[in-house]
Chains A and B, each alone.
Chain A
């Protein structure tokens, strides 16, 4: 009984998300010039990052022992994963503003899950620009790299992208839950989302061991691409961890989403409106 109820709520949430998102898509299309420019901007935003990497490689042949195509592989996987979560959940950082100006209350009285409403708020199709750019770089990497493909490796690539998206999505939700306590702190989550994706673009050998430990064991961003991607590339992970960890991103993603759900509930329950 409880299970069917939970499933019903999830379906409700997805349906509400779809409705709100399609409303925002229609509204965006009212200003077509602006949409075209922001979509291009999103594409270029990450494009500039990659240009910076290309410029680095105009001076050196390897960075942290990794060649340009290998870094492009890391770049593509991190970029697509992050792009997926940004498309679906990227509006979560507006929660603090909604709490401040009191419009969160409107969401609470609507007969749809609050998480779905907050996530779909200002749904921005322009974020496809980032995913497209990530896919292009990933495509380049896959063409150029000489990988010893096995069935497992082939399957691991899409699994990695989806699990990575889910892990980043969980970070977005936890970041939003944190805003119930500190409304102005939305920028903190940029450290873990934008900061995380910036870090995952480079090989772990570049960073201090403690930093790598931090994103492996504390905030499991290493499961987005480092662990599975280094397995695909046939590179050793700089920490002394068992190799099968490369296959665990879906489990890590599920655990992260579970924890994020709990954090969200705790946050939402602690919310007190100003009442005025």
Chain B
């Protein structure tokens, strides 16, 4: 059974690796945005050094990391969920439910494969290009990098769990595009993509830090920047794991409710 999901994951990886031109286009776009945002952060950190506890090099590292993570954790959506929504709308989902595989694990495996590819290519390239122009605060310690990668994996799982709920909503709404778009925006904002969450003022900042989306960028970034070490790191992982567990469980419950609701038209 594990073998099956490993194959699905490998398929997800290979499928996205096929689109070479799209990948280059994506790296190009992430790099352009990286430059634009980097200059606005320089203007901001020039005025207010150590804003949010970052120095300028750390803030710039955050910018380029964000560009790299955007595709990896499918921050704006546009991953598997569009396809799943379409399958619900067209009725192909009936075939999926007949398969001798679990629906949630199947799509999770595929999404992990996709994320692995995006992390290796779209995650690293903009960062390397950014490092050529700007002074970045990248760690020398290999263990920090390993801790970071683990945090990214958990971020992908949390992101998947949210998007799975989005996709399931189309069982009731028929057209899930609206929900997908709104959740995409919420995730962009509360992941810290527009501005690091520790720069968010007051209550909004406190709220943003406990929502699941902080697992997508803020926590991996703080792990990379060495803000979470020792028990702090364990706490950060526990936070991500906790949200992953809660959201995946809700996904399970919703999935069984949805499949009970499915009526397959004979023909």
Min CB distance, A121 to chain B, in Å? 16
Distance of B175 from chain A, by nearest CB (Å): 4
A84 to chain B, nearest CB (A): 20
Give the CA-CA distance A172 to B57 in the complex, in Å.
35
- In the bound assembly, the distance between CA atoms of A128 and B20 in angstroms comes to 34
Q: Fill in one digit per residue for A121-138: 1 if any B CB lies within 8 Å of its CB, else 0.
A: 000000000000000000
Per-residue interface assignment for chain A, residues 197 to 212, with 1 indicating a CB less than 8 Å from any chain B CB and 0 otherwise: 0110010001110010
| B131-190 CB contacts (< 8 Å) to partner A | 173-179, 181-182, 185, 188-189
- Tell me the complex Cα distance, A182–B44, Å: 37
Q: Are B181 and A48 in contact (CB under 8 A)?
A: no
**Residues in A neighbouring B179, C-beta threshold 8 A:** 37
Contact A184 B43 (CB under 8 A): no
Q: CB of A186 within 8 A of chain B? A: yes
Choose among A41, A64, A188, A202 the residue that contacts B178 (Cβ–Cβ < 8 A). Answer: A41
The A-contacting residues of B in range 40-56, CB under 8 angstroms, are: 40, 42-44, 47-48, 51
Complex Cα distance A182/B23, Å?
12
CA distance A85 to B22 in the complex (A): 24
Least Cβ–Cβ distance between A10 and chain B, in angstroms: 32
Partner of A207, one of B25, B32, B39, B47: B39
Q: Is B195 in contact with A55, judged by CB distance below 8 angstroms?
A: yes
**Please, which residues of chain A bring their CB within 8 A of the CB of B182?**
37, 40-41, 44
Q: Would B175 and A34 count as touching, CB distance under 8 A?
A: yes
Residues from chain A with a CB closer than 8 A to the CB of B48 are 59-60
B86 → chain A, closest Cβ, in Å? 13
Shortest CB distance A79–B (Å):
15
Q: 1/0 per position for A36-68, CB-CB distance to B under 8 A?
A: 111011101100110110011011101110000
- Distance in angstroms from A177 CB to nearest chain B CB is 15
Chain A nearest Cβ from B213, distance in angstroms: 12
**A32 CA / B26 CA spacing, docked (Å):** 33
Whether, in the assembled complex, A185 has its beta carbon less than 8 Å from a beta carbon of chain B, the answer is yes
Residues of chain A with a CB closer than 8 A to B199's CB: 55-56, 59
B201 at the interface (CB under 8 A from A): yes
Contacts of B185 on A, CB cut-off 8 Å?
A: 41, 44-45, 48
Residue of A nearest to B195 (CB): A52
Bound-state Cα–Cα, A159 to B117, Å? 46
User: Which of B28, B40, B181, B195 sits near A63, CB closer than 8 Å?
Assistant: B40
Asked whether A217 is an interface residue with its Cβ less than 8 Å from the other chain, the reply is: no
Contacts of A202 in B (CB 8 A): 39-40, 43
Interchain Cβ contacts within 8 Å, total number: 111
Q: How far is the CA of A38 from the CA of B178 in the complex (A)?
A: 5
Chain B CB within 8 A of A33 CB: yes
Min Cβ gap A213→B in Å is 14
CB of A195 closer than 8 Å to a CB of B: yes
B158 → chain A closest CB, angstroms: 20
B residues in contact with A42, CB < 8 Å: 181
**A38 engages B28 (CB within 8 Å):** no
Q: How far, in angstroms, from A223 to B72 measured CA to CA in the complex? A: 35
Q: How far is the CA of A45 from the CA of B184 in the complex (A)?
A: 9
Convert A177-190 into 0s and 1s, putting 1 for each residue whose CB lies closer than 8 angstroms to a CB of B: 00000111111101
A231 on interface, CB distance cutoff 8 Å: no
B178: chain A residues within 8 A (beta carbon): 33-38, 41
**Contact of B22 with A195 in the complex, beta carbons under 8 Å:** no
Given contacts A64-B43, A187-B22, A206-B40, contact A38 B201 (CB under 8 A): no
The answer on a CB contact under 8 Å between B51 and A59 is: yes
Inter-chain contact B39/A38, CB cutoff 8 Å? no
Nearest-neighbour CB distance to chain A for B138, whole angstroms, equals 22
Q: List 23 A-B contacts (CB under 8 A).
A: A31-B174, A34-B174, A34-B176, A34-B178, A37-B178, A37-B182, A38-B181, A41-B178, A44-B185, A51-B189, A55-B201, A59-B44, A59-B48, A185-B25, A187-B26, A190-B29, A191-B33, A195-B29, A198-B33, A198-B37, A206-B40, A206-B42, A208-B39
Chain B interface (Cβ within 8 Å of chain A)? Answer: 19-22, 24-26, 28-29, 32-33, 35-37, 39-40, 42-44, 47-48, 51, 173-179, 181-182, 185, 188-189, 194-195, 199-201, 204
Where the two chains meet, the residues of A that have a C-beta atom closer than 8 Å to any C-beta of B are 31, 33-38, 40-42, 44-45, 48-49, 51-52, 55-56, 58-60, 62-64, 182-188, 190-191, 194-195, 198-199, 202, 206-208, 211
Given A44-B182, A55-B195, A187-B26, 17 further pairs, Cβ under 8 A? A36-B178, A38-B181, A41-B178, A48-B188, A48-B189, A55-B199, A59-B51, A64-B43, A184-B19, A185-B22, A185-B25, A187-B22, A191-B29, A191-B32, A194-B33, A198-B37, A206-B43
